[in-house]
Amino acid sequence: MKHSPILIIGKNGKTGSRVNTRLQTLGYDTRQVSRSTTPSFDWEKPQTWRSVIDGCASAYVTYQPDLAVPHAEPAIREFVRIAREVGLKHIVLLSGRGEAGAQRVEEVLKSSGISWNIVRASWFCQNFSESFMLEDILAGELVLPAEGTLEPFIDADDIADVAVAALTDPSHRNKLFEVTGPRALTFAQCMREISEALGRPVKYSTVPIDVYIDTLREQGVPETMQWLLRELFTVVFDGRNSQVMFGVEEALGRPATDFKAYVQKSIESGVWDAEMQRKSA
């Protein structure tokens, strides 16, 4: 019997793309959507949701830009209402640690009447190699409004593995997996490990949050992202999430990937090779 496709919301995201690849490798049909797909899925346009969800039995859901933003809760509330109406049976939601808004959204899902999993993740390792920190690292200096707070950075490959397990193994249903890396590091320590592995210095410097946000504004970063980064660096990134958790091991029966292994994998990919990046641009 042919299985219904698994819906992937956020096909181009760090985790969505990885979840999709893993599911397809395992032989599952997927329906990958984003604002750029046909049909499209846009979190700001609820009229696009019903036809995308219809016919799927389960979904991996990532919310852009982040569940911490104020409009995430009503959006997810409406999403699960529509999902229930069209017969979606299971949702795996990517969430964030220590975010009041994200925790409200988690409760919406838990009380939705739909089978659920929550993958509550720490900061992604891949922010150093696939996101807003990459340009600074290539330039030789990462500048952030963060002093000595410890964070157990999680490899997005681990998040994807946990999400796939939650989507495909019914024994995991209705569980929350809080996933982190096995060690908590400061940004300065991360830069030292990256520098040592690269064999060249990458400096880490701190700036006041207002200076950082002013720089983002001058660069034309959208206001929603400015708000989110201020929230993350002033509220969420205060040490509340420094504790290592074991959701990866609970879901997969293996330890989470260490930051050193992530660094080595990234070096092998060439993502921190400035000359290679110029040639591929």
Q: Is the pLDDT of residue 276 over 80?
A: no
Tokens representing residue 230 in the block: 């201020």
In this prediction, residues 143-157 reach a mean pLDDT of 96
- pLDDT on residue 265: 98
For residue 90, give the CATH number of its domain.
Answer: 3.40.50.720
pTM above 0.75, yes or no: yes
As a whole number, mean pLDDT of residues 182-190 equals 98
pLDDT of 257 reads: 98
The answer to the question of residue 279 being in a domain is: no
In a domain, 219, yes or no: no
Provide the domain count of the chain: 1
Residue 33 in tokens: 């959507």
Rounded average pLDDT over 8-25 = 96
Q: What is the per-residue pLDDT for 235?
A: 87
Report the run of H or E that residue 74 belongs to, with start and end: helix 72-86
pLDDT one-digit tens code per residue, 32-56: 999 999 989 999 999 999 999 999 9
User: Residue 143 sits in which domain range?
Assistant: 6-186+238-273
**What confidence tier does 280 reach under pLDDT thresholds 50, 70, 90?**
low
Cα dihedral: 56, 114, 99, 65 (round 10): 20
What is the greatest pairwise CA distance in the chain?
Answer: 58
Q: Which two tokens stand for residue 216?
A: 């983002």
**Residue 203 in domain:** no
Question: For all residues of the chain together, what is the average pLDDT?
Answer: 95
pLDDT at 1: 36
Does 247 map to a domain? yes
